[in-house]
Structure 1
Amino acid sequence: MGKPKSKNLPDLTYLAQAGAEIAVHVTPRAARNSVLVRDGQLRISVTVVPENGKANDAVQRLLSTAMGVAASQLRLTRGQTAREKLFVYLGSSRS
């Protein structure tokens, strides 16, 4: 998966608050990459297969692009092998 294009992603910059926990429902092996906010729940679909952390990496990159932050500022804290995942935004390293 290449670098996600932000033109087709919703604006999730409001989630970029240091320490924010972001719950995500993930669908791997989807037809296309997408980020949807439906009924207050964040749903991310990726085309990557869920093996060796590839889908987790793709979700992290897609989420970070939609949030307008670096992927390294997001940490997957729960759900490494589940569809329900919890990311934490670490915040910018700038002071």
Structure 2
Amino acid sequence: MSAALRLFDDHATLCVRLTPNAGRDTVEGIETDAAGETYLKARVTAVPEKGKANKALIALLAKTLSIPKSSISVQGGETARKKILRIDGDPEDLKRKLAAFNDS
């Protein structure tokens, strides 16, 4: 897929650039910034205070990928726009589900 997704034996990590306080909750696809970093771009309507935007991001990705919210956690970037998410489960299954966003 891309460098945004890193696969391990029992989980995967996903780099996400989150825009809180947006007009709607959506996953916009895989993008690369000027520094060459690849990430999944997402927007949520929640405000970035007291973890509300992170919770909304987890709910959005769980719904989009058809996986339980409990399998997604913020591993890095708790208060930053760019985050590292840990997603427990079959990494190959996750790779297939995220492939739809690869060319968005």
Normalising by the residue count of structure 2, what TM-score does the alignment of the two structures yield? Answer: 0.67
Pair 1:59 & 2:72 matched: no
| Count of matched residue pairs | 77
Provide structure 2 residue ranges, at least 5 long, that are not aligned to the other structure: 1-6, 32-37, 91-104
Output aligned runs, 1:1-95, within 5 Å: 18-39=10-31, 41-91=39-89
Higher strand share: 2
Partners of 1:23 and 1:41 in 2: CA distance: 5
- Which aligned segments of 4 or more residues in structure 1 are displaced greater than 4 angstroms? none
Identity over the aligned pairs, expressed in percent? Answer: 36
Could you tell me how far apart the structure 1 residues matched to 2:77 and 2:61 are? Answer: 15
Alignment root-mean-square deviation, CA: 1.9
